[in-house]
């Protein structure tokens, strides 16, 4: 559960940067042959603010948060499971040292 929450929070806070990245990468290459039509990150930021406002940075965040929760939670569980297997089925290695 903790891994899922950590992944969901990190994705929520980095989502605006992902929106800007998608705006830069999603340009039609045939249309932007001239340098004046090319949109860099700053221009994508201001275009998004002027058309959708600051809430436009979080458009579609719900499904992404759900996915991040599931992926991060399962990754954390897989790590803990692999660690348990590497320890030979022992839960607490400090108990073996006493």
* Tens digits of residue pLDDT in 42-98: 888 998 888 888 888 888 888 888 888 888 888 888 888 888 888 877 666 555 555
What is the Cα 60 distance to its own chain's centre?
Answer: 13
Asked whether 58 and 82 are in contact (CB, 8 A), the reply is: no
Q: What angle do CA 69, 41, 46 make, to 5 degrees?
A: 95
Report pTM. 0.62
CB 62 within 8 A of CB 1: no
Kindly report, residue by residue over 7-49, the tens digit of the pLDDT: 888 888 888 998 888 888 877 666 666 656 677 888 889 988 8
């Amino acid at each position: 559960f903790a891994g899922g929450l950590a992944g969901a929070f990190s994705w929520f806070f980095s989502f605006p940067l992902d929106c800007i990245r998608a705006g830069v990468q999603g340009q039609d290459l045939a249309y932007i042959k001239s340098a004046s039509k090319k949109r860099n990150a700053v221009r994508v930021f201001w275009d998004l603010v002027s058309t959708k406002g600051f809430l436009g940075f979080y458009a579609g965040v719900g499904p992404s948060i759900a996915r991040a929760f599931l992926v991060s939670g399962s990754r954390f569980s897989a790590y803990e499971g692999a660690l348990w297997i590497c320890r030979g089925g022992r839960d607490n290695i400090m108990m073996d040292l006493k």
